[in-house]
Amino acid sequence: MDNKTDTKGEHLIIFDTTLRDGEQSPGISLDTAEKLEIAEQLARLNVDYIEAGFPVASQGDFEAVSAIAKSVEGPIIAGLSRTQLHDVDRCWDALKFAEKARIHVFISTSPSHMEHMLHMDQAQVLAEVKSGVGRAREHTDDVEFSPQDATRTPLDFMIEVLNAAIEAGATCLNIPDTVGYGIPWDFGALISYVRKMVPGEYILSTHCHNDLGLATANSLAGVQAGARQVEVCVNGIGERAGNAALEEVVMAVNIRSDQFPGVTTTVNTSEIAKTSRLVARLTGYPVQYNKAVVGRNAFAHESGIHQHGVLAERSTYEIIEASSVGQAGRQIVLGKHSGRHAFSDTLEKMGLKVQGDTLNATFNRFKELADRKVQITEADLEAIVAEELGTAVSSEFVLEELEVSGGTVAQPMARVVIDKDGTKSEGKAEGNGMIDAACNALSNATGVNAKLSEFNVSAVTGGIDALGDVVIQVESNGIKVSGRGVSTDVVEASARAYLNAVNRILRMQAKGDEREVEIGP
């Protein structure tokens, strides 16, 4: 856009970076199949851009960005790149098969980053900006530039850098609050200043972190000041305290249109809750109960006065209609007599694309669990699919048998049998509880010693036969990953989650898939 034009009545671009900045959250390690599943759901959500990853960071990132670029339709696919020419070219190699692609180039501009990370002076940074953006523009006419740590960068130098980026061919200028330093009125003033001081045709963007709990507020201040792109993550995940939450920004603009006159998004808000659940299950990052828009309690009322008001008229205590964000969706129920066709058809109607070996494995898990649980709901199916997506890519070991014993008077013990390419191995161990014993037995059987650092268990649905959804984080030889398992038995779910994590570790060790560079902005 022209930075001099009226900002009312314009489309607000939703640039989703869940698969890039969101995946930088500690312990999140998504396989290509899981990233594809999230990307497909983001397409159904109808975001404008999907930042699919940082191709030069690792071979796994490159492959995931390439797979998304080749298969996901609708949103424009973006990749992140430093200003180095090799990085830019590598980014384009991953993106080049996309219907539409954007290269997002960044470099640090704050004195702290320049001195301690880049070891560059201002002249060197300016030269890098011109070179990197110029190379990106040779590949595509959609180029974004970010001065990392913008909110701690001297204004005069930041403006000089941004002007250089525009002259080199950037079409979008992103102002990242990399360390969550901004305050809404100050950040809004910064956006206004950039619009005033940087002439040309470009989209102005925000990228806000939540270190002070102000990421959404800062993003909205930026929109009010003229930014027409916001960079967000589903559930607000991301580095440290996270990023601006997609669901919060979108619904704030929708509900408070009086504060953002004429500004609209094309997000299909009825897909928000489903997207939130999928991201939570695949990343292993649960959504806090009181999380705005998508939390379990977002539409719950305990106070008698609130209950009376809502029953009389919903708007008395609810500014968002639950169904508008998909919080009151249908409940699909399957049972042990349901066949493969009904199962596959149900997944398809839910928007879950599961095929081939993954479909077979998911159906087998469904039948196994349906023998123990009278009804399998939509939420149960989402959990089963999430578990199988985590194992289908690389299942070094498969759990065949689990036997545990314990109580108040006996030492907890576990015995497991695992299968690897038709060869069965047995492991036995004690523990300070049955879950600990089961994990120790799996460690003995696989030969992988992984230290458990995080453990979270939740019920997928209500009722005595509810599925237990266990998400763990483990670390082995510097590799930190998450694992997931579901079962009506929480001990079995824990064992499955641990084995899922072990398989991830083995896959990453085999590929040497560790990040090679620091990530921004």
Interval 249-288: pLDDT, tens: 999 999 999 999 999 999 999 999 999 999 998 998 889 8
Same domain, 376 and 408: no
Give yes or no: residues 311 and 221 share one domain: no
**364: part of which helix (H) or strand (E)?**
helix 356-370
pLDDT of residue 299: 74
Cis peptide before 111 (omega within 30 of 0): no
**Does residue 519 sit within a domain?**
no
Residues 73 and 206 in one domain: yes
pLDDT band with cut points at 50, 70 and 90 for residue 138: very high
Residues 185 and 279 occupy one common structural domain:
yes
Q: Is residue 401 domain-resident?
A: yes
Q: Can you give the pLDDT at residue 229?
A: 98
- Does residue 478 come out as left (phi exceeding 0), alpha (psi in the -120 to 50 range) or beta? left
Enter the DSSP assignment of 2: B
Distance, CA of 218 to CA of 23 (rounded, Å): 22
Contacts of 55 (CB under 8 A, 6+ apart): 61, 62, 65, 66, 79, 80, 81, 90, 91, 93, 94, 95
Can you give the pLDDT at residue 141? 98
Quick one: 349 and 464 in the same domain?
no
> For position 6, what pLDDT does the model report?
42
* Pairwise pLDDT comparison (369 vs 432), residue with the higher score: 432
Residue 222 lies in a domain: yes
One domain, residues 396 and 464: yes
Q: Which tens digit of pLDDT belongs to each residue from 407-429?
A: 888 899 999 999 988 899 999 99
pLDDT score at 333? 64
Confidence class of residue 332 from pLDDT cuts 50, 70 and 90?
Answer: low
374 shares a domain with 422: no
> Is the domain of 255 the same as that of 312?
no
- In whole angstroms, what is the distance from residue 412 CA to residue 329 CA? 42
Percent pLDDT > 70 in the chain is 91
- How far apart, in whole angstroms, are the C-alpha atoms of residue 321 and residue 326? 9
What whole-number distance in Å separates Cα of residue 323 and Cα of residue 367? 31
Residues 28 and 171 in one domain: yes
Partner residues linked to 479 by β-bridges:
476
Task: Check pLDDT > 90 for residue 151.
Answer: yes
Q: What's the pLDDT score for residue 2?
A: 44
Half-sphere exposure of 222 (CA within 13 A, CB side): 34
**C-alpha to C-alpha distance for 437 and 445, rounded to whole angstroms:** 12
Residue 333 inside a domain? The answer is no
What's the rounded mean pLDDT across residues 286-315? 74
What rounded mean pLDDT belongs to the chain? Answer: 89
Is there a single domain that holds both residue 403 and residue 380?
no
Alpha-carbon span 81 to 106, nearest angstrom: 6
335 assigned to some structural domain: no
| Max intra-chain CA distance, the chain | 77
How far is 471 from 284, CA to CA, in rounded Å? 6
Domain count, the chain: 4
Q: What is the pLDDT of residue 19?
A: 97
Residue 186 lies in a domain: yes
Q: What CATH number is associated with residue 505?
A: 3.30.160.270
Q: Which residues lie across from 172 on neighbouring strands?
A: 144, 203
User: Does residue 508 surpass a pLDDT of 80?
Assistant: no
Query: Which pairs with CB-CB distance under 8 Å and at least 24 residues apart come from 407-414?
Result: 412/436, 412/437, 413/437, 414/438, 414/440, 414/441, 414/495
> Within 10 A of 358 (CB to CB), how many other CB atoms are there?
18
Same domain for 226 and 184: yes
Distances 390 to 163, 345, 362, 394 between C-alpha atoms, Å: 44, 21, 11, 8
What is the crossing angle of helices 246-255 and 272-283, to 10°?
170
Residue 477 has pLDDT above 60, yes or no: yes
Q: What tokens appear for 459 in the block?
A: 């019920």
Q: Phi-psi category of 322—alpha, beta or left, where left has phi over 0 and alpha has psi -120 to 50? A: alpha
Residue 118 pLDDT greater than 50, yes or no:
yes
State yes or no: pLDDT of 518 exceeds 60. Answer: no
Continuous H helices in 47-121: 59-71, 85-95, 111-113
pLDDT of residue 388: 77
pLDDT digits (tens, 9 = 90+) for 372-418: 776 677 778 888 887 777 655 555 788 999 999 988 888 999 999 99
CA 165-167-172 angle, 5° bins: 50
Six-digit token string for 303? 């106070």
pLDDT in tens, 51-110: 999 999 999 899 999 999 999 999 999 999 999 999 999 999 999 999 999 999 999 999
Identify whether 133 is part of a domain. yes
Q: How does residue 342 score in pLDDT terms, banded at 50, 70 and 90?
A: confident
The pLDDT of residue 103 is 98
Instruction: Verify that 368 and 410 share a domain, yes or no.
Output: no
Whether the per-residue pLDDT at 310 is higher than 80: the answer is no
Domain assignment of residue 332, yes or no: no
Query: What pTM was computed for the model?
Result: 0.81
Which residues are CB-contacts of 139 (< 8 A; sequence separation ≥ 6)? 88, 89, 92, 96, 103
199: domain CATH number?
3.20.20.70
Q: Identity (one letter) of the amino acid at 367?
A: K
Domain that holds residue 434: 392-511
